[in-house]
Each structure stands twice: as C-alpha cells, then as structure tokens.
Structure 1
Amino acid sequence: MAFRRTSLTTRATVATAALGLALTSQGTALASVNPYTPTSVCGSGYRVIDSSPLQPTRVGVSTTGGQLYLLYNASNGYNCVVTIKSVAVGTPTQTTADLQIFEGNRVAEAYRDRKNYKYYAGPVKARAAGRCVAAYGDTDAGNNTFTNNIPKGHCG
C-alpha cells in the first residue's frame, strides 16, 4: 500500500506540474492581450467620445501601437484621457496620456501622465465643461514610438 500511495502522490505531482505549465503558457499568451478598456480605466459614468490609433514614427512599420481615447462624463463635466497599449503589453515602456483644456485659442490647463507602464497611461481627468479639449498619447516599443493626437474640439 505504501508503494501505491507514492505512486498516487507522484501522479498528482506530475499532473499538478503539467497544469502549472499549461497555465503558465496560457498566462504568457494572455499577457500580450491588453485586458483594460478605456471605460474600465476612467471609471463609471464615462463614455468614449473620440479615439485615435497610435501610429508608428518609423517608416515601413504597419502595425499600430495602441489607441488614444477621450472620454466624457456628462454627470460631472469631466473629461478623461487614456492611452491603451497594443504593443509591448505587459512590459513597462514609456507611455503618455495628455489632456489640454482651452480658453479660446490658448491652452489654459494641461495635464500629463507619462511613466513606464505595462498596459496604459492615465487616467488623466479634468473638468472641462463648456471648454474645448485636445488629447495626445504615445508609447514606446523597442526602437519605435507610436503616437497620435485628438485635435482641439469637443467644445461644450
């Protein structure tokens, strides 16, 4: 009977190791997919009002690096900007989310979140009811930077 228990223990250990390997392999594959959405980052009450794909700065690169989002919360008059990565996901790289608020043609307020992030930069939030806003985002991946902006607009 002692031999049989050892055999069962050995089988359980092998099965557990195989399961762990399968989960690790699956976890690695899933790490390349960004699990975050703009509304999950900005929070409840925000809805996407504009977005722009992050374009490569190097010629000949056909992939986008993520998406820049501008959201608005009608209940409190706040805008939110978030840059969500689609390259180097899970790896800390410099990633930026900027929000600019205008008074006429002048930038009256500017807010920035720029650090090495694994998944996204932001949320950058500010009250901008009745004023125009603009947004900027970028992320680095290897020897390329992906960037784009949402020009001044969404006034009101």
Structure 2
Amino acid sequence: MRFTRSAMAAAALAALALGTTTALAAPASAAPNVTPQNVCGSGYQTVNSAPIGSLGTVYLTYNATSGMNCVTTIRSNPGTAVDMSAWISIADSEEGDYDYGTYTSYAGPTYAYGKGHCADWGGSIENIYVSVYGSNCGALKEHRVTTVR
C-alpha cells in the first residue's frame, strides 16, 4: 500500500508540474500565421503593399490566371478586436469590393477583376487609413495617402 501511495503521489506531482509548465509556457507563435496568400487563396502573389503606421500592412495581390486582384489588411500584432478595413476599386470599371468590421488579425479579403486596369485600394487599422490610387498601371506613378483620424 505504501508503494502505491508513493507512486500515485509521484505521478500526481509529475502531472501537476507538467500542467504548470504547459500553462506558463508561451505559445510557439503568439500571432497566427496570416499572410496575404493565406487570406486571398492559392495563386495570388503580392504585387504591392503599404504600411499602416506600425499597426500593420495592407496588401494588393494578383492572380495572373484569373485576372483577379485581392486586398487584405493584416495587423502586425493581432490581439483584441479593433476596427479594420480593406477595399479595392478598379479604374474604368464597376468592379470593387469593401470589407469593414471589428477584427483581431486581418480584414478582407476583397476581390475585383482588374486585368489590364489600374487599381485603387487601401485599408485601415484603428484610426489610421491608407489609400493607394492609380496603382499597378505600368509607367504611371501611383499616389499614396495616409490619414490619421
């Protein structure tokens, strides 16, 4: 009986120590592995990006097979849900898409067909808004605007 109690006590102590270590250990990655390709889907390549202060980045991706553009806004440090957005509008077209909400790590994806057209796109995190106009138009120079509200 004495051996059984000692073995059970040792097992309980080991389980308690393991549980405490597991509970106190930081996860291998505190932030989820979010990339523009994870959000937009396979076949999309990043063709442009713009920082949103130090809070994150808005990405423009393109799928050459489908001619579709995708925009997503990704936070640098995911956490408590905050106001975020991602949007795209294709020049000379009715194509456009917008996503606005309260998110923990990313906004979007937003999609628009844009093969052979300039794109206007942007995103926001909290009170910082970034807009890129006339983007990916070959020789034309894009115009970037950052607004803090």
> Do they fold alike, i.e. is TM over 0.5?
yes
Give 1:40 deviation, angstroms. Answer: 1.5
- Name the SS of the counterpart of 1:12 in structure 2: helix
User: Larger relative CO (CA 8 A, sep 6+): 1 or 2?
Assistant: 1
Mapping 1:21-32, distance limit 5 Å: 21-23=23-25, 26-27=26-27, 30-31=29-30
Mapping 1:94-133, distance limit 5 Å: 94-103=83-92, 108-133=94-119
Give 1:98 deviation, angstroms. Answer: 0.4
Contact between 2:96 and 2:111, CA under 8 Å: does it hold in 1? no
TM-score normalised to structure 1 length: 0.78
Question: How large is the Cα RMSD of the aligned pairs?
Answer: 1.9
Contact between 2:81 and 2:102, CA under 8 Å: does it hold in 1? yes
The superposition leaves residues 69-104 of structure 1 with CA deviations (integer Å, 9 ceiling, x where unpaired) of 0011000000000000114x122111100001110x
Which ranges of 4 or more aligned residues in structure 1 deviate by more than 2 Å? 107-110
Instruction: Give the number of aligned pairs.
Output: 136
- Name the SS of the counterpart of 1:16 in structure 2: helix
Give 1:150 deviation, angstroms. Answer: 1.9
Give 1:121 deviation, angstroms. Answer: 0.4
Mapping 1:18-97, distance limit 5 Å: 18-23=20-25, 26-27=26-27, 30-31=29-30, 33-55=31-53, 64-87=54-77, 89-97=78-86
TM-score normalised to structure 2 length: 0.81
Contact between 2:95 and 2:113, CA under 8 Å: does it hold in 1? no
Rounded to whole Å, the distance in 2 between the matches of 1:129 and 1:139 is: 28
Contact between 1:50 and 1:150, CA under 8 Å: does it hold in 2? no
Give 1:45 deviation, angstroms. Answer: 0.8
The superposition leaves residues 44-71 of structure 1 with CA deviations (integer Å, 9 ceiling, x where unpaired) of 111111100003xxxxxxxx11001001
Q: Which amino acid aligns with 2:60?
A: L
Contact between 2:85 and 2:123, CA under 8 Å: does it hold in 1? yes
Rounded to whole Å, the distance in 1 between the matches of 2:81 and 2:104 is: 4
Q: Which amino acid aligns with 2:50?
A: S
Give 1:131 deviation, angstroms. Answer: 1.8
